[in-house]
Amino acid sequence: MRIIIGYDGSAHADGAMDDLRNAGLPETTEASVLCAADVFNVFEPAPIQGEAPSVMAEAAARWRADVDSALAKARDTAESGAARLRRSFPTWKILAEGVADSPGWALIERGEGSGDPARAADMIVVGAAGRSAIGRMVFGSVANQVLSNAGCPVRIGRRTHRADDEPVRLLVGVDGSLESSAAVERIISRSWPGYTECRVVAVVDSRMSTAYPPYVPFVASSSQSLAKSIVDGARARLQAAGIRATSAVLTGGAVGNLLSEAADYKAHCIFLGASGLGRVARLMLGSVSRSVSIRATCSVEVSRASAAER
């Protein structure tokens, strides 16, 4: 498993990193801790003849010094984050990298392997908010940019407190789409403690039935039946993988129901697909997935179906 972690030294970044102990990641995980200094790192200007060059040279020297200082700070911050991660996960292969780049695009580019598909990440991890001086890990900018554009699953990490003898509790929203199925498969593929629990939820949006008033009873009953078959199938797959799973079909708005269910369940992480069918929970990125990612008090993982899963 290869992951990229956006790190800026903030409490939110520390929380996202610490919460990885609830992510079921294997002991052989490869992690790259990335801190991006949001500065321009371009070639030195070409020499200019005449009297002006001295002034321009001084400006260029100050610019270069500022870039070097920002890069040094980014590298130190990344190494600090890597050291923190090594203490929690001594068996992982952990690297630290400081770069001069737009933070969001730096994470997306490295998530794609920086041009080498063989080095593509299996997941990008970012905090829900952070500092502005280095990485600008603020939800609505970096986190939203990565969530919207990354080709791999994205984890919006938040620190949650869990005792060693307390089960990891997961909530997964499903709607029968390839994307929500991928979210279930992400859970199954992880290395969870034997007492991990998962709640499978589908939300039938009652507002959809108003689109066809003459057929409200039929639409409502068929949606409930479809939702039940979806959650039953996902629950069976999780149970077959050794995860204690329960399920529920809820009615109403998808965002509110998922957040409320996660709070009642005391979930440590919510798993969602990046897009959905639109018939049951309408798990569409930019609506449900994004809204849940912003408003949740626990971590949220948003999955995309791989080419093989499509």
Residues 99 and 221 in one domain: no
Residue 231 has pLDDT above 70, yes or no: yes
Q: How many residues does the chain have?
A: 310
Q: What tokens were used for 288?
A: 């449900």
Residues 202 and 231 in one domain: yes
Lowest average pLDDT, out of 56-60, 185-189, 206-210, goes to 206-210
Residues 8 and 145 in one domain: yes
Whether residue 29 contacts residue 3, with contact meaning beta carbons closer than 8 Å, is answered with: yes
List the domain range (segments joined by +) for residue 36: 2-41+68-157
Residue 112: inside a domain: yes
Residue 190: inside a domain: yes
Residues 127 and 264 in one domain: no
Q: What tokens were used for 135?
A: 């990485």
Answer with the one of 104, 124, 157 that is the final residue of a domain: 157
pTM of the model: 0.85
Secondary structure (3-state) at 132: coil
Q: Are strands 154-157 and 299-303 parallel, antiparallel or unpaired?
A: antiparallel
Answer with the one of 157, 186, 212 that is the final residue of a domain: 157
Give φ, ψ of 183 to 5 degrees. -65, -40
- 276 — pLDDT class (breaks 50, 70, 90): low
Average pLDDT estimate for 235-243: 96
Whether residue 127 contacts residue 15, with contact meaning beta carbons closer than 8 Å, is answered with: yes
Residues 118 and 193 in one domain: no
Is residue 77 within a helix (H) or strand (E), and if so which, with residue range?
A: helix 53-88
Secondary structure (3-state) at 188: helix
Residues 127 and 183 in one domain: no
Residue 95 has pLDDT above 90, yes or no: yes
Residues 195 and 125 in one domain: no
Residue 56: inside a domain: no
Query: Among residues 168, 170, 105, 175, which one has the least CA distance to residue 301?
Result: 170
Residues 140 and 275 in one domain: no
Q: Of 42-51, 156-165, 196-205, which has the strongest mean pLDDT?
A: 196-205
Residues 141 and 190 in one domain: no
Residue 124 has pLDDT above 80, yes or no: yes
Residue 61: inside a domain: no
pLDDT tens column, 45-56: 555 555 556 776
Q: Name which residue leads in pLDDT, 42 or 108.
A: 108
92: Cβ contacts below 8 Å, ≥ 6 apart: 27, 28, 29, 30, 31, 85, 86
Residue 216 has pLDDT above 50, yes or no: no
Answer with the one of 157, 188, 208 that is the final residue of a domain: 157
Residues 213 and 118 in one domain: no
Q: Name which residue leads in pLDDT, 117 or 134.
A: 117
Residue 217 is predicted with a pLDDT of 42
**For the chain, what is the mean pLDDT?**
84
